[in-house]
Amino acid sequence: MPAKRIDGTALAAGIKAAAARDAQKLAEQGVRPRLAVFLVGDDPASAIYVRGKEKDCAESGIESVVERLPADTSEETLLERIYAENSNPHTHGILVQLPLPKQIDESRVIEAIDPAKDVDVFTPENVGLLQIGRPFLLPCTPAGCLHMIQSTGIDLAGKEAVVVGRSNIVGKPMAALLLAQNCTVTMCHSKTRDLAAKCASADILVAAIGRAKMITGDMIKPGAVVIDVGMNRDENDKLCGDVDYATASEVAGFITPVPGGVGPMTRAMLMANTIKAAGRLSAAFGL
């Protein structure tokens, strides 16, 4: 039986609707959630992502302010702009669109963001809180993946989970979230031996390695939940994920499509984080 498709677009719509309701409650208290976004350079993919975030903000009752800076912007200039938003009491979330031009140190920029406004959950303080099980906000893409897994209704406790990819943005925090749900987690990467066997042992498989159609149907346990974080182009220049959907969907129990899977959920979780940060910051200022 073909796998059931996990519709990220539909799930994201529900999350954004809830965010809009919460934004309205804050508005009634005189608080308008505000997200400041920095886009440096003219990377086409980044520009598309930012436009999508602007649309989501409009739908979620969030004021979106996008500062588009030229590709030759200095690190000092970007840091000054971030410090200004850190100090702005009307700004509740700060996001720097990655990647950044080579003259800018990504780590320094991330560390400059006020952790209370770090809606991407990239700062060392927030990463540390996640690892010790005390997060206030959850990283957007992993949180979206977890929500999709939970939407299947399966009991996660004791399940074998395999995460393919060890990035700071997806792989590592994804493992932390699955551990918090009492899964037994295996992390795989480019040096993993016998990757196919590791993947085939998974009740839950999260593919976030950035290689088109790398995970094929013969690497998947029958009935597994398969979450495809990848966003690649195939030989015909069509969008595809890290999972070969055609073969994987014949084996898996549940699977996410690309596009229409993890992508919308990432942006929806950003909206939820911004609303939550606005609520906490406004309370801290006595609003």
Question: Which residues are known catalytic residues?
Answer: 53, 97, 120
d(CA 223, CA 226): 9
At 97, the amino acid letter reads Q
User: What are the strands, taking DSSP E only, across 51-146?
Assistant: 63-69, 93-96
77 CB-near residues (< 8 Å, 6+ apart)? 69
Three-state SS for 102?
Answer: coil
d(CA 75, CA 273): 26
Q: Partners of 118 in the beta sheet?
A: 94
At 232, the amino acid letter reads N
Q: Which phi and psi (to 5°) does residue 103 adopt? A: -80, -5
